[in-house]
Amino acid sequence: MKAKVYVNLKPGVLDPQGKAIHHSVELLGFNGISDIRQGKYFEVALDSSLNEAEAKEAVARMAREVLSNPIIEDYRVEIEA
């Protein structure tokens, strides 16, 4: 089983990296892009000791307490069998 954790800056928190990437992408010739926000992605490999619900709960706690800073970031957890 694998957990995927997506961490993104909350809406409204300045993302200068995203802005710089947006600018570069436009220089490459891409049009029609209104915004780019940069986030983080984690893959967590899980052994078979947890069922899916337990795994989701455990990884959500990990995301809340370590992988994200709840003051500035939101997270989303997906479990993949």
Partner 1 sequence: MKFGVIVFPGSNCDHDAYHVISKHVGQPVDFIWHRDTDLSSYDAVILPGGFSYGDYLRAGALARFSPVMTEVKKFAHSGRFVLGICNGFQILCEAGLLPGALIRNRNLHFICEHVYVRVATADTPFTSELPAGAVLSLPIAHAEGNYICDDVTFAELQRDNRIIFNYCDKDGNITEASNPNGSRGNIAGICSAGRNVLGLMPHPDRACEDLLGSSDGREVFSSLAATLAAVA
When the beta carbons of 16 and 29 are compared against partner 1, the nearer one is 16
**Which whole-number Å values give the CA distances from 41 to 17, 28, 30, 77, in the listed order?**
16, 25, 24, 10
User: What minimum distance in Å lies between the beta carbon of 51 and partner 1?
Assistant: 27
Within positions 7 to 36, which residues make up the interface with partner 1, using CB under 8 A? 9, 13-17, 20
Helical residues (DSSP H) of 28-73, grouped into ranges: 52-62
Tell the smallest beta-carbon distance from residue 69 to partner 1 (Å). 6
Using CA atoms in the order 40, 41, 46, 51, what is the torsion angle rounded to 10 degrees? 90
Residues that bind partner 1 (CB under 8 A): 9, 13-17, 20, 66-67, 69, 71-72
